[in-house]
Structure 1
């Protein structure tokens, strides 16, 4: 790897930072990560969840309840992997920057896969028969318009005693098209932070932080504790390969550098294990979008 010396630990650190920066939906749900995971795809892992306690009226005798931590089982259904092979000639003549031309695209591919896994879970909810219907051609204020539906969802959340913080509305392009007609969201500096659009965030609306994902159909209003994303980095590869498994900010991945004699090439492999699950369906309200009425 002439002219491309680097510490693989640094590569993993950069990869984890990139994984988080590429994440939109992953930042809105509960996340649980672990490095050097000894299991594999198909295994279920325990994800810690907040457990609500109920105060009791003191009537002269103190009643104690155990301090228990809630947990949910999340199955690691997928093993997103990106493997790149390159010759010595590639390294010396064609690849000007190994990090920019090989590792960054690999990290991008794996983090995008994880993001799509979260989107798939929300899409399943938005396509369910219980999803509320948003009419694409409804005017603001009409019963079928997303704003009207969202005010009703906010009221439902309050009735269900769902915390006012960490509420999100994740929307796809169709719903985004409808919301762009809402005057209070047309000015980002009035609806949220000035840098919001760069982070795929449209702003705040009726207590929900509105985030946009190209991988979504319809929309889902939810509290952070409604869904969970579990990410596990497999154990480091043993032998002559350089391999590091790491976790940070509730994301995890493994990077392996080796030589494959079967193809007579250097190889770079970035992989992880991931799974998603619904933790509390009562903390989410899904919406589906109907196409505009024919003229």
Structure 2
């Protein structure tokens, strides 16, 4: 049986970061910025770099130069998702066969779910409740103006009209819209649905140029470009003292893992935490939808 001494903290952090990214859905669809060993804390404001659009000009004999500079958005770190687990030496030597499966994975599942849920609430759900959000009629028949297909094709046309790039367009949907999409006859035909198998499995697919993602934390739906929103993740700096603590970042995710011994309960502890902030970069690059209930007979 393994002992706690067999675990290298750096290996634990590497596995944690991989788990965090594999659990992320909405986080993969927005601009992300991560940093390890962040010396600030919750409430701090950080700068997230954003793409800056260039405009070409017709050369008329004089070259016009523009400054090479990056855009940025201010993101406040509002949340500090933390999961702590305590386990005795006996647990480690006799009961826990897989530290990753029995201790680390549940911790990372909880942290990832927190980040996903808070991102949905702070950004996408807020957008769907904003003034002017379009309504999808849950009882609409095929061909009616309020039908979900009509709304999504209109959103695609709006994006094109606004010169929003065709790449990195997303449609994030909640269970209510997922139920409607799976009932749309057009999506049941391979030649019209594109990646129909993915949609039937309620995972990912392509629909009218949007990559479809499903989130249980989302109400309604939001069509958006990757550059509409930003997610900032900062890993607190390593704990000083006797604890084994590592702060790391990879693939634009960051977290801190701390392993220590708590003599008050005679248990080893594993603590996974991070700092998270979200912000809207460009609201014009998102269109939200709400779902209206069926009309009463």
Is the 8 Å Cα contact of residues 76 and 277 (structure 2) preserved in structure 1? yes
SS of the residue corresponding to residue 246 of structure 2 reads strand
2:80/2:274 contact within 8 Å kept: yes
Q: Report the equivalent of 1:287.
A: 289
Q: For the residues of structure 2 that align with 1:179 and 1:33, how far apart are their CA atoms? A: 34
The change in CA–CA distance for 1:194 and 1:52 in structure 2 (over 3 A counts) is same
Matches of 1:256 and 1:106, distance apart in 2 = 12
Distance of aligned partners of 1:39 and 1:75 in 2 relative to their CA distance in 1, 3 Å threshold: same
Report the TM-score when normalising by structure 2.
0.93
Q: Give the superposition deviation at 1:199.
A: 8.8
Q: What displacement does 1:120 show?
A: 3.5
* Structure 2 CA distance for partners of 1:198 and 1:40, relative to 1, 3 Å: farther
8 A contact 1:200–1:213 mirrored in 2: no
Deviations 1:260-283 (A, max 9, x none): 123322110000001111000000
Equivalents in 2 of 1:139, 1:195: separation in Å? 23
Structure 1: state its 5+ residue gaps: none
Alpha-carbon offset, residue 197 of structure 1: 5.9
Q: Assess if the C-alpha contact under 8 Å between 2:229 and 2:279 holds in 1.
A: yes
Distance 1:4 1:144, change over 3 A: farther
Contact 2:135 2:289 in 1 (8 A): yes
Q: Distance in 2 between matches of 1:249 and 1:115?
A: 16
Unaligned runs of 5+ in 2: none
Question: 1:68 Cα deviation (Å)?
Answer: 1.2
Query: Which stretch shows the higher mean deviation, 79-88 or 190-199?
Result: 190-199
Q: 1:215 aligns with which of 214, 217, 221?
A: 217
Aligned-residue offset at 1:112:
1.1
Structure-2 change in CA distance of 1:19 and 1:267 (3 Å): same
Cα distance in 2 for residues equivalent to 1:202 and 1:93 = 41
CA RMSD, 1 decimal = 2.0
State whether residues 34 and 233 of structure 1, in contact with CA within 8 Å, keep that contact through their aligned partners in structure 2. yes
Conservation of the 8 A alpha-carbon contact between 2:43 and 2:78: yes
